[in-house]
Amino acid sequence: MKEYDVNKVKNIALAGHNGSGKTSLAEALLFKAGVSDRLGKTADGTTVCDYDPEEIKRQISIGTSLASFEYNDYRINLLDTPGLFDFTAEMIEGIRAADTVMITVSAKSGVKVGARKAYDEAVKQNKSKMFVVTKIDDKDANFFNVLTELKTVFGPTVCPVVVPIISGGSIVSYVNLIEMKAYKYDAKGNAVETDMPTAEISEKMEYRIDGLVAAVSEAVAETSDELMEKFFEGEPFTQKELIDGIHNGMNRGIITPVVCTSAVDLAGVDMLLKEIELLLPAPNEVYPAEAYNPAKEVVEIQCAPDAPLSAYVFKTIADPFVGKMSMIRVMSGKLSSNSEAVNSSTGNMDKIGKLYRLCGKKQTEISCAYAGEVIAASKISANTGDTLSDVSRIVEFAPMSFPHPCYSMAVKARSQGDEAKISAGIQRLTEEDLTLTYVQDDNTKEQILSGLGEQHLEVAAAKLKGKFGVDADLTVPKIAYRETIRKKVKVEGKHKKQSGGHGQYGHVWIEFEPCISDTLVFEERVFGGAVPKNYFPAVQKGLEDSIKKGVLAGCPVVGLKAILVDGSYHPVDSSEMAFKTAASIAFKEGMRQADPVMLEPIGELKVTAPDDKTGDIMGELNKRRGRVLGMEPVSHGVTMIQAEVPMREMHDFAMYLRQTTRGMGSFTYDFLRYEQLPANLLTEVISSLNSEA
């Protein structure tokens, strides 16, 4: 296998709103580069990057896929990430492994929330950025409106590089503003140079081209003092100065180039490949990655092939046949197959087995990978977020930051005996996706699967069936209600039974009163030996067993204090079991007399949302019986609302918030305390709990 100079490697994450054409663009790039012999389509399930059965079935990207290929002596690693918000973790992982984030924006629908989120994540991870305006061939496309919108939303760093020339509502040619050349495309996507446009071709086009060239020159001038001086003197930049200026500006985050393409007729795809070569930074040109040594000191890791090995596991793929496949970005040094490396996260030595380059589902085995490469390794014990190091320099890279799971469903096996299979399968899925959690609710005893949305959990259940052969049903989780009392009562409990031979006799008087405690508070104030001391534990045990089920809906009882004050016994017929039963009788009678009520769990909600949506959200929280406690600004145009909301009202809040804020909102919700359930809901809750039982 040919070894590559680190300068000849380009790592690119494709990100953007769902449906903006990421996978189609990847397909066009692979086809134009000669990697694939046909142009696959998402609708047909024939693309290189969407190869998972669930992706083909749903016609969407679910996981980040790697397409590694050679083009003009360059090694290009494309990471095609999903645009759906349910799979945000995959986008974060893909961006972590890349040096440049190529953000797709539809020429038809413009800048959507997914593009903003991809841009924000790229900024957060300090990656260079490029906008690709896709679907330029659509009859409703409007490139210049989209360009204006990009500048409005993302600021003056936006710099056009390839623009369409439109006449009579159709594209007549594409202009490369760096070369100052125009190209036409035939039916097969082959470019032919043509004359630069004049005012006659399109109204005001001469002005537009001049204005766009001026915008490019102004952006390039910002990259160095020498170029700024030349710009002020009115001298035009050479082609090399434009290329170097944009290249450096991208690397420093002060220029975001814009190109346009059509994945359908391949127009502009060849120019995009050229810009990838010329403009995008190589792994050794970006800022050195920061890691921590064992003393927790910050260490800069230069992307150098001759340095000690450091590599970052950015994604895990669970495969029931191949086993665990780990996708790795080599940060420095050389990673060899059949070698060993220190897992800095655990301190253990990891055996490195086989290494592969991936192009969709196609695997090509390699013997080693150098700094800057993105590859896959099979059956290593390292997990997502782990760092592999050489023993001579142990370092650890910071973990990725993922959104918290916010949507939960209870998981039940469809066939009896499949519970163990479900747990094993979901454990593999949670290794693959760190935004999935699977826990048992201690209160309801249900197995709860949590993720980022309804589709996220549906896909997890589908993978359980497809990969691990087990059917599971997803149901709305039960709410852990409680019961308590509101007044003090004194009741009698007597158990007397004669059945030949020894009978059964237990007799107690118990005072029940409210208190603040999650468990039973038991005391005894018996005088004169009315109840012998050796029966006190039996009375307490009888009450502890009884509070597991209240009298209203069979929910656990909390906030209960029981004081044994009197009773009687029989020297022959009394027993521990008899006093335990008597205590149970007293409990049931005491609960009925002590004004029992239902309690519901209340949680603390913190919602982060755009300022213009806070009114809608607060209105919705009021409908959900929430209490808004306050608001505070988080950043420009974003506010956090703090509230207390009953858990009963929160199940579909994630769906509401996503719809209302178009994906820009997020929230955390944590259990706070129990409060009395409103009387108007009591009958409904008791009825639903009895039907479940």
Lowest mean pLDDT among 229-233, 325-329, 381-385: 229-233
Burial (Cβ within 10 Å: 0-12, 13-18, ≥19) of residue 152 = exposed
Q: How far is Cα 158 from Cα 484, in angstroms, rounded to an integer?
A: 62
pLDDT at 675 over 70: yes
- How confident is the model over 68-97, as pLDDT tens digits? 999 999 999 999 999 999 999 999 999 999
> Predicted confidence band at 199 (pLDDT cuts at 50, 70, 90)?
low
Which of 20, 91, 23 is closest to 55 using CA atoms?
23
Helices (H), 348-418: none
Length of the chain: 693
Inter-residue contact 24 to 83 (CB < 8 Å): no
Q: 10 Å Cβ neighbour count for 299?
A: 15
Cα–Cα distances (Å) from 664 to 272, 453, 606, 631, in that order, read 30, 14, 14, 17
Mean pLDDT of the chain: 91
CA geometry: angle at 267 spanning 263 and 270, to 5°? 95
Tokens 């897992």 — which residue?
A: 343
SS3 (DSSP) at 220: helix
The upper half-sphere exposure of residue 90, i.e. CA atoms within 13 Å in the direction of its Cβ, equals 23
Per-residue confidence (pLDDT) for residue 573, from 0 to 100: 85
Query: Which tops the pLDDT comparison, 128 or 205?
Result: 128
Which of 24, 255, 279 is closest to 134 using CA atoms?
24
Tokens 């499949």 — which residue?
A: 418
* CATH number for domain 6-171+252-279, candidates 1.10.10.10, 3.30.360.10, 1.10.10.60, 3.40.50.300: 3.40.50.300
Inter-residue contact 280 to 249 (CB < 8 Å): no
Average pLDDT over residues 446-460: 93
> Predicted confidence band at 205 (pLDDT cuts at 50, 70, 90)?
low
Query: Which amino acid would we find at residue 629?
Result: L
Inter-residue contact 83 to 19 (CB < 8 Å): yes
Phi, psi of 581, deg, nearest 5: -65, -40
Domain ranges of the chain: 6-171+252-279, 289-397, 407-475, 482-594, 599-692
Architecture category of domain 599-692 in CATH: 2-Layer Sandwich (3.30)
Q: How far is Cα 299 from Cα 288, in angstroms, rounded to an integer?
A: 9
What CATH number has the domain spanning 407-475? 3.30.70.870
pLDDT at 564 over 60: yes
Inter-residue contact 376 to 66 (CB < 8 Å): yes
Rg of the Cα atoms in the chain: 33
**Residue 684 CB partners (closer than 8 Å, separation 6+):** none
Average pLDDT over residues 488-495: 94
Domain 482-594 has CATH 3.10.20.600: no
pLDDT at 1 over 50: no
Query: Which amino acid would we find at residue 185?
Result: Y
pTM: 0.89
599-692 shares the fold of 407-475: yes
What's the fold here for domain 289-397? Elongation Factor Tu (Ef-tu); domain 3 (2.40.30)
Which pairing describes strands 74-80 and 9-16: parallel, antiparallel, or unpaired?
parallel
Q: Which residues pair with 352 in a beta bridge?
A: 339
